[in-house]
Amino acid sequence: MLRQVTLEKAIDVVRLSVALTFCWPLSSHSSKTKLFVYKVLQMYSIINVSLLLLSLLYAMYLKSEDIEIITVCLALTVLMSQSIIQAVLCSSKHDILQRIVEEMCTCAKEIQEHEREIFDVYLAKCNFIYASYIIVAYAGAFFYLCGPIVFQVGNVIHAEYPFDTNRTIMRVMIRAHQILTGYQCCSHLCLCVFGGLLIWFAAARFECLAVELQNNTNVRTLIACVEKQLRLKRYAEDVITCFRFMVLFVIALCSFLMTLCAVIMAMNTPVNVKLMFLLLNMYFLMYLYMYAWPADNMKDMSLSLSRSAYDLKWYEQTLGMQKNLLYVMMYQKPVTLSIKCIIKELSLHYYCTVRLPVRLTSNDLLQ
């Protein structure tokens, strides 16, 4: 079933998975009323998460001596901070996101047969991992948020409020708010799938262009390929602009949490506390991988045009054509997901340098 996924279906699945983030941009043809409602919902989602974040910070203040509650609250605080930051970043980049998403949707409708074959190869390569990530994220959120209701156990979100919460109506409202906010954070966990989709799409278009260049026969078609490459490069740079600081935030969190995890493993803390930090580290490493994998591929594919030019039978072309092909091969710079002065480029090689600072064993967890 997964191998039969088309680009259109992949777009629909990703749009549904991040629906509660309100980060998927509206169409440029949307009415002013619809745009206003969309902006209000964006603000509501940020305020909604912020309210639960404040109650968690209040709980950490009141129960600062309980290491287990502090651990759970800290983990949820990190996830909610990520949700707020991502929502703010997407809101600030709405116009760019709108343009690149509309171009992707238009391309999906007008895609040619030979291009569809390339996109199908990309989808077959990565859809299982990304689909599994979405399923695990929402399944985990369901069991975490709704499990206490089904199995009638205590609340797993140790939030504290500066008012009376003993009344039934108040408890119901608080639980509903926590479940809604939890699913909003879960939807934000899937935002890396949204970014990954756009980066994979850009990489696939670079490969389609390389195939088109291989069928090049004259200067006119070569000029058309170079013009397409310039537009595609601007498109890829716009995608990177939208997600660059989200990646920076995740890398910073990875560094902080791995250091904290090493400290927790060395301390005499309960097993569930160690497992909580271990799972949190695994999540952020997987989240970063969702960006690193397509970014590494896009870097290679952005150089495919020069390789395709070299693979042509340029020695059979005219002198003018040979000079034009030489220019194509010379003036090539890979498109990379980089952060100036911090990360030269996000790639699988860089990802492999991000690892847990300690070797975890069963004795570490049981200590």
In this prediction, residue 319 carries a pLDDT of 63
Dist CA 236 CA 203 (whole Å): 8
Q: Is residue 149 part of a domain?
A: yes
Q: Is residue 363 part of a domain?
A: no
Q: Is residue 366 part of a domain?
A: no
Write out pLDDT tens, residues 228-276.
Answer: 877 888 999 999 999 998 888 888 887 777 777 777 777 777 777 777 7
The amino acid at 212: E
User: Do the Cβ atoms of 185 and 80 come closer than 8 Å?
Assistant: yes
Q: What percent of the chain has pLDDT over 70?
A: 83
Mean pLDDT in residue range 138-158: 74
Q: Is residue 32 part of a domain?
A: yes
Dist CA 98 CA 28 (whole Å): 7
User: Do the Cβ atoms of 133 and 290 come closer than 8 Å?
Assistant: yes
Dist CA 51 CA 176 (whole Å): 13
Query: Crossing angle for the helix pair 271-302 and 219-266, nearest 10 degrees?
Result: 160
**Residue 289 vs residue 75, higher pLDDT:** 289
The amino acid at 358: V
For residue 301, pLDDT beyond 90: no
Q: How many structural domains compose the chain?
A: 1
Q: Is residue 267 part of a domain?
A: yes
Mean pLDDT in residue range 114-120: 88
Burial 207-227 (b: 16+ CB within 10 A, else e): bbbbebbeebeeeeebeebbe
Domain of residue 278 covers 2-358
For residue 30, pLDDT beyond 70: yes
Write out pLDDT tens, residues 38-57.
Answer: 999 999 999 999 999 999 99
Q: Is residue 41 part of a domain?
A: yes
Dist CA 26 CA 221 (whole Å): 35
**Residue 188 vs residue 256, higher pLDDT:** 188
Q: Is residue 364 part of a domain?
A: no
Write out pLDDT tens, residues 302-342.
Answer: 877 766 665 666 555 566 666 666 666 665 778 888 887 77
Helix, strand, coil % (nearest 5) of the chain?
A: 80, 0, 20
| Mean pLDDT, the chain, integer | 82
Q: Is residue 367 part of a domain?
A: no
**Residue 198 vs residue 141, higher pLDDT:** 198
Structure tokens at 84: 């707020």
Report the first-to-last Cα separation within the chain, whole angstroms.
44
